[in-house]
Amino acid sequence: MGKAMFYHLTRRPLEAALPQILEASLARGWNVALRGTERARLAWLDEKLWQGGEESFLPHGLSGGAHDARQPVLLTEGTGMPNGAACLVSVDGAEVSAEEAGALERVCILFNGFEEEAVAHARGQWKALTGAGCAAEYWSEESGRWEKKAESG
């Protein structure tokens, strides 16, 4: 059974924190499904990920292309994972089921700490996943670097 990692963004915006999470997952040899809730937002993230320098190249693609199955990181608003993802990254409140968390190596849930609705949604996801028996960790960047603040399971 995998683990759900909750990342509370309080210092950097999503587009600045996301590459670190994706790079760490790819370094473990995992393909990643990056799940969002809106196609336009995913297209915007796709563009931001391409703007990194050569030293931070992140191979990825937006779902719906001819090569979805070959993408190391696939940005999608769907629940399918045609790239054989071992890690699911949820942004903007995209839903994650306990079944998915249990079947994958890792689930990463990134949420904006300055939006009350996003924080409340993440709390609900924590309750649902841990209530279903999933191991979970809560990470905060409040100090300027990621620190584990809570653990369940």
Q: What is the pLDDT of residues 91-106, one digit of tens each?
A: 999 999 999 999 999 9
Of the pLDDT bands very low, low, confident and very high (cuts 50, 70, 90), residue 143 is confident
> What are the tens digits of pLDDT across the range 9-26?
999 999 999 999 999 999
pTM over 0.85: yes
Task: Please identify which residue in the block is written with the tokens 């059974």.
Answer: 1
What pLDDT sits at residue 51? Answer: 84
**So where are the chain's domains?**
3-152
CATH class of 3-152: alpha beta
